[in-house]
Amino acid sequence: MDRLELKALGKINLGLDVLGRRENGYHDVRMVMQTVYLYDRIIMKKSKTPGIRLETNLYYLPVNENNLAYQAAQMLMDEFHMEEGVSIQLDKHIPVAAGMAGGSSNAAAVLFGMNRMFSLGLSQKELMERGVKLGADVPYCIMRGTVLAEGIGEILTPLSPMPKCYVLIAKPAISVSTKMVYEKLDSHEIEDHPDIDGILAGLKAGDLKKVAGSMGNVLERVTVDAYPVIDQIKKMMIKEGALNAMMSGSGPTVFGIFEEKATARKAADAIRDARLTKQVYVTNIHNARRKR
């Protein structure tokens, strides 16, 4: 196989709790992750010339070793002493620095693609062990679907799939650093832990309303304090008929869960009309796990 086309899907966090801080600064988390059908497209081609050539449609993203897609290819090339090269075309659609794991998902797709294209023979577990060195969310992005993530995000338990629904995604025009959000959290006492067990019970029962009603994210307070627009978008989504709305990951993306596509579309228009942000997408959840 000389050419491979992949979809690197984004994620939302239906629940995100932080249990403690490790000595190295990383945090122990308990999160419910869900893949959504908003994706970057990646085309990989083998080449006789050694090395990695990366191109992307976003001029402001690095195309060298600072790009997670590049790092993923490099990691396997070094380990397997590969003599051939690879060119990677990365078409970004997942909002960047948004709390949707765009970079991690790109890295996951490239690890998967390199393993396939160069017949490296790594199992999914072996890919995940390598992936976590690139980012805490990379193992999940390899697995995909509805998953409980613990440890720093790398201990994964597949869950019953999220019931069918529509997801409205709105990314305010601000960027937040994941590292800073976790650091700021350390200066707060966490008063309200989200009801992760409620989400798990809702998923088990296939009860969308219970899942949505139990959603919660401890990182939200930190980011909302700095950027009130996040709260404004949440409130508008709920007013426009979302079962619930919440910030994803470290933000600033807000997502709303809707039963009807038409309602989600109307809410998207309302957010645009109120000029809260232009970056708005109506999508759905994606429950298929990655084929090995």
Ligand X SMILES: C[C@@](CO)(OP(=O)(O)O)[C@H](O)COP(=O)(O)OP(=O)(O)OC[C@H]1O[C@@H](n2ccc(N)nc2=O)[C@H](O)[C@@H]1O
Please tell me whether residue 124 binds ligand ADP under the rule CB under 6 A: no
Shortest spacing between CB 292 and ligand ADP, in angstroms: 23
Using CA atoms, how far residue 149 sits from 13, 168, 249, 266, in Å, is 10, 23, 12, 33
One-letter amino acid for residue 148 of the chain:
L
| Binds 194: which of ligand ADP, ligand X, none (CB < 5-8 Å by kind) | none
* Packing angle, helices 68-79 and 102-117, rounded to 10: 30
| Binds 29: which of ligand X, ligand ADP, none (CB < 5-8 Å by kind) | ligand X
Among 40, 92, 137, 234, the active-site one is 137
Nearer to ligand X, 23 or 192 (CB): 23
Please tell me whether residue 29 binds ligand X under the rule CB under 6 A: yes
Please tell me whether residue 70 binds ligand X under the rule CB under 6 A: no
H/E run at residue 136? none
102 known ligand binder = yes
Interactions with ligand X, residue window 223-282 (CB under 6 A): 249-250
Structure tokens given for 96: 């960047």
**Phi (first) and psi of residue 13, to 5 degrees:** -100, 115
- Whether 11 sits among the annotated catalytic residues: the reply is yes
Shortest spacing between CB 172 and ligand ADP, in angstroms: 13
Which residue's entry shows tokens 């084929």? 291
Q: Report CA dihedral (240, 244, 250, 252) to the nearest 10 degrees.
A: 0
Binding ligand ADP (rule: CB under 6 A), the pick from 43, 63, 82, 97 is 97
Binding residues for ATP: 95-105
Q: Which residues are catalytic?
A: 11, 137
